[in-house]
Amino acid sequence: MNNSHRDVDVEERRIEKKSDSSMVASTFIKYAAYIIITFGILYFLVRYVFPMFQ
């Protein structure tokens, strides 16, 4: 068991995270629009539809 003569090739990889700011911005705008539409529907239900059942 002679480990001093063992030849091991070590491959080194560097992973760089590429962040496209336009992609991030468009995703943010998309989800912000989803949230605004959801709150708009909830507001409509609370303001106009629920009072019809009282």
**In angstroms, how far is CA 50 from the centroid of its own chain?**
34
**pLDDT tens figures, 7-46:** 677 788 888 777 778 888 999 999 999 999 999 999 999 9
Inside any domain, residue 7: no
Examine residue 4 and state whether it is found in any structural domain, yes or no: no
The answer to whether residue 15 sits within a structural domain is: no
Range of the domain at 53: 22-54
Residue 6 lies in a domain: no
CA dihedral 43, 49, 50, 53 (to 10 degrees): 170
pLDDT at 2 over 80: no
Q: Three-state SS for 6? A: coil
Q: Is pLDDT of 53 > 80?
A: yes
Residue 40 inside a domain? The answer is yes
List the structure tokens of 36.
């605004």
Structural domains of the chain, count:
1
